[in-house]
Amino acid sequence: MISEYEDIAIFYQIRNELFLLEYENVIDLNNTLNEDDQIIPIICDLFIYDPTIDKCPFILNPHIPCVIYANCQTGVNQTSTYVSLDNGKTFQPLELEGEFSKYFNNTGRIELDFDCRKILTKNYFPDISIVRFNGTFYQNNYTTRHIFVSFNEGKS
DSSP 17-73: TEEEEEETTEEEEEEEE-TTS-EEEEEE-BPPPBTTTTB-SEEE-SSSTT-EEEEEE
Note the pLDDT of residue 112.
Answer: 92
Given a cut of 70, whether residue 20 has pLDDT beyond it is no
Given a cut of 90, whether residue 55 has pLDDT beyond it is no
Q: Which of 141, 87, 79 is nearest to 112 (CA)?
A: 79
| Average pLDDT across the chain, whole number | 74
DSSP label of 81: E
On whether the pTM is more than 0.85, the answer is: no
Note the pLDDT of residue 2.
Answer: 42
Note the pLDDT of residue 32.
Answer: 63
Rounded Cα gap, residues 131 and 80, in angstroms: 17
Judged by DSSP in three states, 80 sits in: strand
Note the pLDDT of residue 145.
Answer: 94
Rounded Cα gap, residues 34 and 42, in angstroms: 12
Question: Poorest-confidence range of 54-63, 80-89, 97-106, 141-150?
Answer: 97-106
In this prediction, residues 55-76 reach a mean pLDDT of 82
Note the pLDDT of residue 5.
Answer: 43
Considering just the CA atoms, what is the radius of gyration of the chain in Å?
Answer: 16
In this prediction, residues 70-85 reach a mean pLDDT of 85
Note the pLDDT of residue 135.
Answer: 94
Most confident of 41-55, 59-73, 103-117: 59-73
pLDDT single digits (tens) 108-133: 889 999 887 665 667 888 888 888 99
